[in-house]
Amino acid sequence: MTVSIVTADRFDELVTVLCDSFFDYPVMRYVIGGAPAYAHRLRTVIGLFVKARVARDDLMLGVQDAAGTLIAAALVNLPGDHPPGPQFETYRDRVWAQLGADARARYDAFGSASHAFDPTDSHHHLGMIGVRASHQGTGLGRRLLERVHSFAEANPDSIGVSLTTEVPTNVPLYEHFGYRVAGHSRVAPELETWSMFRPR
């Protein structure tokens, strides 16, 4: 199974993979809350994240099985400023209106805390990396991570890769791959975030 670039025509597959892998992730539970339509709202939120990468022409990576089904994916912000444009901004505002002001406020609070320690120089940012539950523990996350690193190392405009994690046990995992903790914030009693960076 090889890692390849995923194009916008596989939008639904990307969203499905990330919804499966992030279903119980602390940020999603915090932002969406205990709404009865959680699964639908999760798909809406993750769809927004994928649309943002498509609109900015960022990097989307994936791994597919022998049948061609996407089973792992990563969303990566490329170095530099890539505004998504007014069409996406209209879409984003419509999504947050649908999800509600409370969800938007929680997301903004998380965003402020999680990006407080971002490097100021141009770099790659690993926004999401996920593997379907049926394929977790098979090394696909490692393959995606290593491919992200190879893109950063080949780009002279990038000083490295940043990411955030909201699961304490992920911190030593990422440290194993060369990341260091750049900062730590508690967003809410039930949510904390670690900002991490791996230099080129």
Question: pLDDT tens across 32-67, in order?
Answer: 987 789 999 999 999 999 999 999 999 999 999 999
Total residues belonging to the chain: 200
Encoded tokens for 40: 């639908």
Which region holds residue 57: left if phi is over 0, alpha if psi is between -120 and 50, else beta?
left
Buried residues in 28-38 as b, exposed as e (16+ CB within 10 A): bbbbbeeeeee
pLDDT of residue 145: 97
- Beta-bridge mates of residue 163: 126, 196
In angstroms, the Cα distances linking 141 to 31, 48, 56, 131, 132 are 24, 22, 24, 7, 10
180-188 and 124-131: which strand pairing? Answer: unpaired
Give the global pTM.
0.95
Q: What's the CA gap between 200 and 197, in Å, rounded?
A: 10
Which pLDDT score, from 0 to 100, does residue 67 have?
94
Cα dihedral sign, 190-181-146-76: positive
Confidence (pLDDT) at 140: 97
pLDDT for the residue 35: 72
Q: Distances in Å between the alpha carbon of 191 and those of 5, 45, 75?
A: 32, 18, 22
* Residue-level pLDDT at 46: 97
Kindly list the structural domains of the chain, giving each domain's residue range(s) and its CATH number in brackets, ordered by start: 3-199 (3.40.630.30)
Spans of the chain below 70 pLDDT = none
pLDDT, position 82:
84
Say what the pLDDT of residue 81 is.
Answer: 83
Integer Cα distance of 22 and 43 in angstroms: 10
Mean model confidence pLDDT for the chain:
95
Read off the tokens for 159.
């000083």
- State residue 1's pLDDT score: 79
The rounded distance, in Å, linking the Cα atoms of 107 and 168 is 20
